[in-house]
Structure 1
Amino acid sequence: MVGMRRVILAVMATALVVCLAWMGGEAHAAGSVSLDTPGGTYTQDFNSLAPSGTSSTVPTGWHFLETGTNGNLTFAAGNGSSNAGDTYSYGGSGSAERAFGSLRSNALIPCFGAQFTNNTGYPIHALKISYVGEQWRLGTAGRADRLDFQLSTNATDLRGVSWTDYDLLDFSSPVTSGTVGALDGNDAANRAVLSHTITGLNIPNGSTFWVRWFDFDASGADDGLAVDDFSLTPYTAPTAISLSGTSLPENAGANFPIGTLSGTDPDPGQSATLTFSLPAGQADNDLFVLAGTTLQARHSFDYEVRSSYTVVVRATDVTDLSRDETFLISVTDVNEAPAITSHGGAATAAISVPENTTAVTTLTASDPDGDTLTYSILGGADQAHFVLDAASGRLSFVSAPDFEQPADADADNVYEVTVQVSDGLLTATQSLLITVSDVAEPPAAHTLVYTAGRGGSVEGEAKQVVKRGGEGTAVSAVPQSGYHFVRWSDGLRTATRVDSDVTSDIWVKALFEHDATVVTHALSYSAGVGGSIRGEASQIVEDGGTGAEVEAVPDSGYRFLVWSDGVQSARRVDTGVSADLSVVAEFAPVGVGANRWTDIGDQEWVDVYGVTACQVDMVADGLNDGRFGPGLAVNRSQFAKMVVDGFGLPKHAPLTPSFNDVDAAHFFFEWIEGAAALNVVLGYEDRGFRPEWSITRQQACSILGRHLAQQEMGQSGSIRGELGSYTSVEQWYETEGVSLLAPFADAARVFTVHAPYTAYLLYHEVIWGSLSEGQCLLDPLSDLTRAQAAVLVVRMGLSVDGYHLIGTQSE
């Protein structure tokens, strides 16, 4: 017997063979070959065939078929000496070593093969077939004869209709030259070993299939060809894949082991030799890797981004049969520490705050798990000086620090405190270095200045210097003929006054009116979001009279905060009314603080600037980080927006920009163009607007003065003064306004172009100037701050000599 070798070929050429109608008979043994074990090999050496004479007896499951005029149900024993067409039991004369073969002729067409039944208990997915082809006769020299190997999964006998040809198992004559006649098929030169694994099959358990060799019709007399030492091994693909673990914690890191793969293959010994892979392009396979049989995550997974993934695993056996299995990999949630994000999120942050204030900063933090965060003070040398709101993160001094008397541990005005945020389990910390900056203290002495408006004068010492806490001398407001005294500009209604317990500079003007004038004032009370007004919301009151009581009533879930003019009582009765009044009651949800901005409290607007945060909010926006930046310089574009929003002017978007440095894409484009269209703002000679340049106090005076003048001209047709009416502010200035600048020590620093409108705003008490070391100053070249700009626009919103400058607007 010649040994067999296994050859696994990846490419198989197939052809569907449709057999012609057969004539003749078919001889066979009872039953078919039963394949009982996956991976078990069936062999046949054909030594049971008759060694002499003729016979029809073949091994179990084997068949032969002869068609043509000489076809019968027997085969002949031979050694290749006969050239007659027939089915043969080839072998040496009298030898028991036989091979099953055939020789085709014009009168006889032979075919032989076998039927197999799949009793393995599994589908058959591949067949490994090996045999030795033997040539026992050369019928014609110069050409090759062959036995065509074919397989059918639906045939019931050798005549079956559908057969697939596998050329790699065809046996072609190894001897094609030499003397025509008998050959010894057992001689190595006259035989060939053929082996091939047929894949792509799916033969169910319990079903049958057939193999056969069909004798090719070669030119001339055919060769005698035979099959010996046949073997067939059925293989089944892996039937199951298991993964020992299917979850991993989030943030576990790259190459984290998830589980170990194992598989089941019915073929003997193959379960332990399975190889595993992750087919490309399937599910989430690109997010995983294999290290041998261990499934690993390619990188860290984040539960909050995605909590599960799908991976497809392929198990392949040594016969290249495979099975795919899909696994769901779950990511388990792991609590992650919060992070402090305020002040850049650095471990240590520096903050600067002015003395005499308690507010420091508001901490912010984030948590990947979305847990509720609480803030607390962890430590620091100066922790006792601070209080931290656990819910809002608002950090404040327990008492306002004094720069001149530092209370920190190092006495250097740098307070050290460490804060932390917690999600209930994990924490994050930040060390804060809080520097207290110096603020100019009130002077030891204060200057009192008393001036008179048109229609009267002041008797007594009009300019006085009084020690802090001291008392000034009496001054009186004396009306001219045809006028009567109304009030001082700070609201005092007695003509003679003595200012006592002086704690700040005082600069007031006595106001007079024509005797024939009957003055009434409109009182308007409205409610912000979260409340309503109880009482008469719109009232008309004579000058000096008293209005009716109104009350700010909060809605459910809201609380009253303050009136927009600073009055903190929900119920109010306005007495001594001397001007129109329009106020808004402000409310806030229960539990929400009142302060609009983090760096200046609502009460500070009232105490320092004399306006309310609500009034400021209507004309100016805060910064993106929640601050207002009261001490920062306001630039030209920001001031243009304040003017347009504060005065209710229309925005404008022309097709052609008015300025070469403010195009349509500029954030403030429509506000700048709106102000320019009304000639409230002007550009430079080169058509530039310089939107980012800071604006000086005198430039602001010109912008506000131009708008005020437009209002006055529109309502009365002229600019009115003490001595008459004028066609322009410049004409009024030449006659009356120059004298208004004279009392100021720095009047010479006011540019000629800005002087008329600066005097015009002084005349209408929009600006008053300031006192420093006993001198009256305008400080015209200083940059206007954001707080000063907002306050100026708010003041312009009040009634100035009867001209109402802000129209109705919605915020």
Structure 2
Amino acid sequence: DATMVNTSTFKDIPAGYELVWEGDLQINDGWVWVEVRPVEETETQSVTVTYWDTVNNKQVGETFTIEVAADATNLNTSTLTNIPEGYELVWTGDLAIENGAVRVEIRPVTAPPVEKTFTVTFDSNGGSKVASQTVKEGEKVAKPANPTLSGYTFEGWFVDKALKTAYDFNTPVMSDITLYASWDRRSSGGGGGGGSSSTKKYIITVTCGEGGEITPDGGSDNEVEVRKGNDQTFRISANNGYRISDVLVDGKSVGNVDKYTFKDVDEDHEIEAIFTRRAADPSDSGTDRYLNTKDHVQYMTGYPDGSFGPGQNMTRAEAAQMFYALLLDQNVPHTVSFSDVPADAWYAEAVNTLASLGMINGYPDGTFRPDAPITRAEFCVIALAFAYEPEDFDCNFRDVSTSDWFYDYVAQATSYGWISGADRSFRPNEC
């Protein structure tokens, strides 16, 4: 008695076709007319995707392909489901498809720093007990009250059991340490063999010029007392904007060293540190051989819509154009080019000229990435390329390591007073 048949019961729809209508169809004289139509094929294109670690400047994982619409010009990061473990996207949203490929920039996920602590133990060598202290990494241990020992005078804390090197309580703690008490037997006050057994001590007079410091500094008397036969080490450091010019020991130069040790002391000595101000003027560092540092020229402009974009990140191309505008001689043969810098681009002349001078560099894959925001480290390296001096400079930023490719440049810029970090961080990879 059925008068209708539902399309859900059809199991043999011809390949390459789809139903025009779905649902109940009328049965006429035992027949059902089922309308079908060819399935339209959607054209697609294959896009090659590469994950690139922008912090360590290397590819992560294997290149793979993904299918997108044939007319697609962008790939949205929401379609990426295989981001390497331990990484996060630098940019999210649409990424431009160029020559059938997309490079997805990623960076390692930074774990929160783990606060380290160390234990400083005090060995009283027979004296009254002194409690150990737990100290955070890089902080100084609090000097405890002097222990006591009947018949002896406490002389101080030493880093070795032989009691040869006194401990400097201004030293940042970077590991577990044990300090040892030194004692001097008091004089009996009698004659003959009952006299004092005190160890002979000598004085090292410390003089520190303006622009730095010597540790230990001898306190208000500028004198450091050393027991006969012991060693005494002094550390010399320059303030920002200064450098160690010379160190004099007993009136004789030992060079611009940052550490000096008196060995097996058996007489009084003197040590003096001399500091000089570093060059902070471009002319003093040789910058004016390349850049016009005398005339006021227009080296920065705004955008065609009349805005300047002060809150926007400066791109690598814009940075190159800025330094190029200051060159004394812009007529430089081009010996370097980049695959992503078209010859007719507004920044091409600036980028290729500075690259040919060795002032800027691209990436191992032959690109320059002109539209990428320039990082603080990259900008610092370009600026110092015009004023670099092959000397050793100290850098106290906690996020800049001596193994970093930009370390020498950041250290020199810090010494010049060009850059600073209120919280002792430079944030080299930020824009």
TM-score by length of 1: 0.18
Please identify which structure carries the higher strand content: 1
User: Which protein, 1 or 2, shows the higher relative CO under an 8 Å CA cutoff with sep ≥ 6?
Assistant: 2
